[in-house]
Amino acid sequence: MLMPYALVALLALILAGPAAAQVHVDIGIHLPAPPQLVIVPGVPAVQYAPAAPANFFVYGDQYWVFVNGDWHVSRHHDGPWILVAPQFVPRPLLFVPARYYSVPPGHWQQWDRQAAPRWEHEWGREWADKRAWKGRDDDRDDDRGDDRGKGHGEDRGEGRGKGHGKGR
C-alpha cells in the first residue's frame, strides 16, 4: 500500500529537476539598449563596449561585467546579473588586455595596459594553481594545464584580492 505513494513521490522529484540556485544581483548597470560592441584585438571571441559606463564584455552569447573586483554574467545587456566565482570566469575574458577595461581598478594603473590583468595577483596563488594559470603568452605554447609548461617555476606571491581565497 505504501509503495504507490513512494513511487509517485519519487516520480515527482525526478520530474521537478534541480532548482536554480542563482542569486541575481543589482550592480547598478541599467543600459536602455544593448551597447555598441567591438571585437577585442587578439581575443576575437570577446567583444567589449567602449562607451559603456562599466567594464562590459560579450562572450559566448552572454554579457559579462567586471565591477568592484567581481565578474557578473547575464543573458541580457541590462541584467539580471549573476555573480560568478573567479574560478568559473571563461579564460578568453581573462586574456583581454587591461586597456579594454573602461573603468579599471586604480591599482591596475601600474600594470602594462597592453597585457591582460594580473589575475593571479587579484585572486591569489590558490586560484592561479587551480586554474593552472600561466598567463597568455605561455598558454599559446602549452595549454595542458600541468607543470610541464612554462611559467610554473616563478613565485606568484600571495593574492591581495578581496578575500576570494581561504584565510584571506
Q: What is the pLDDT of residue 27?
A: 83
> Cell triple for residue 19?
532548482
CB 92 within 8 A of CB 71: no
Helix, coil or strand: residue 9: helix
Q: What is the pLDDT of residue 46?
A: 98
Q: What is the pLDDT of residue 142?
A: 32
Domain boundaries, the chain: 20-110, 118-163
Q: What is the pLDDT of residue 23?
A: 65
β 55-59/43-48 pair status: antiparallel
Q: What is the pLDDT of residue 150?
A: 35
Instruction: Say how many C-beta atoms besides its own lie within 10 A of residue 63's C-beta.
Output: 25
Q: What is the pLDDT of residue 71?
A: 95
pTM over 0.75: no
Which residues of the chain register pLDDT less than 50? 7-20, 136-168
> Cell triple for residue 130?
587551480
C-alpha pair distances (Å), 65 with each of 37, 60, 126: 13, 13, 23
Q: What is the pLDDT of residue 88?
A: 93
